[in-house]
Amino acid sequence: MQKNSAKREKAFLVGTVLRGITLFQVEEQLEELKSLADTAGADTLSISTQNRNKPDPATFIGKGKVERIINQSKELECNIIIFNDDVSPTQIKNLQKAAGDEIKVIDRTGLILDIFTKHAKSKEAKTQVELAQLVYLLPRLTRQWTHLERQMGGIGTRAGAGETQIEIDRRLIRNQISRLKKELEKIEKQRKVQSHGREGAYRIALVGYTNTGKSTLMNTLTDAEVLVQDQLFATLDTTTRKLELDVGITVLISDTVGFIRNLPHDLIASFRSTLGEIRDVDLLLKVFDASSETIHEHIETVEEVLKDLNLSEKSGLTVFNKIDVIREPEILEGLKKRFQDASFISSREKLGIDILTEKLSSIITSEFKQDVFHLSFKQTKLLDTIYALTRVIKKKSDYDGIRLQVEGSRRSLDKIRQMLEK
């Protein structure tokens, strides 16, 4: 997709109704695909669906359908055809050959990768996306990829004896994949060092389907200025801010990359280090768009991704956002009846925020325990840390040090014990 041009592309979307999938489901998915295309910089001019028992091995949708879609795309002056499904490298190659040089053919994964490329800002996000792109590209190489050495560059990229250009390109990509994996390992080690100082704090992570208003909620709760855009995948990097609760407790809250239906495995793998931060939090705030017509599918998707990350058992609080834009009251009542322990809010209009923070305070304080620590005079340098991690209930000095009665999270108390034992 064109990223540095104001000129938007013209897209033709293609969906297939395969066995076990209803037309209604495909139409909902195509609406999401339309939003993805819009985020990537393309206007959808036409949408086509086809009923099939199984994908055509050569072109996914069959030769006759391919010809009709290409002819319609040319009539509409579309310059890109986007498939809602993941299409195999061979199928993409055959489809691209049929479409010619004037029309690009990509699948859903290729589109999502393009959006991630567009929205990647930090070094880590850019590295993660580049890795996913190359893993995606490797099996899709054709003879048209003739100048990858210009992109990869450097000594050692020249062809060996008897190598074809495509073999050179594959070797270059494999080398780049290896380098990027090592770079991500280095970044992950740095992340662990940076987060070491936050180990004792109570931590909350915002998770949910993309574009559910997580960043807006974070801004509302913390008075932060996290980027808010009405676009899919506006947030790729994990952002952490302090949240001060009325009960006198300060916690850390993090915004994370949004989930999506059938999130490409290569992306999940590449972003595993970022998403892995969620493993260390104490509470998940699962945020959903209450006004979405596909909310139940979104809930299912989020739970599937959390399961994939081995986080199904992590403590969580469900939050339904955007209640201010629900047009039919019975929809909201239905959600409240089904999810009785959930919070219902509008982060934009600040509706229900007080109730949400009260629930958070109640959950957190219920997990707080009291303990008594005795510090020698040599250990009094730890007092500032203890005050930062806990609420000091009582302080008493005696002949050999200071006795503290404190209240804090299990994580905080464990960290203090470790510091005192050193």
Contact 191, 273 (CB under 8 A): yes
Q: Please report the DSSP string for 3-37 in residue order.
A: -S-SSPEEEEEEEEE-TT--HHHHHHHHHHHHHHH
**Edge-to-edge strands of the sheet including 343-344?**
239-244, 250-255, 203-208, 283-289, 316-321, 343-344
Name the pLDDT band for 11 (thresholds 50, 70, 90): very high
Q: Please report the DSSP string for 281-327 in residue order.
A: -SEEEEEEETT-TTHHHHHHHHHHHHHHTT-TTS-EEEEEE-GGG--
Kindly report, residue by residue over 230-280, the tens digit of the pLDDT: 555 655 667 788 888 877 778 889 888 778 887 766 667 666 666 666 777
Contact 96, 105 (CB under 8 A): yes
Kindly report, residue by residue over 153-203, the tens digit of the pLDDT: 332 333 444 446 677 778 888 888 899 989 888 877 776 655 544 555 788
Kindly report, residue by residue over 112-165, the tens digit of the pLDDT: 888 888 877 778 778 888 888 888 888 877 544 444 444 443 323 334 444 466
Residue boundaries of the structural domains of the chain: 9-115, 120-195, 200-366, 368-421
Residue with tokens 């339904």: 320
Q: Same fold for the domain at 9-115 and the one at 200-366?
A: yes
Pick the CATH number of 200-366 from 3.40.50.880, 3.40.640.10, 3.40.50.2020, 3.40.50.300: 3.40.50.300
Burial call 378-404: b when 16+ CB within 10 Å, e when fewer: ebeebeeebeebbbeeeeeeeeebbeb
Kindly report, residue by residue over 212-237, the tens digit of the pLDDT: 988 889 989 988 665 555 555 655 66
Does domain 9-115 fall under CATH 3.40.50.11060? My reply is yes
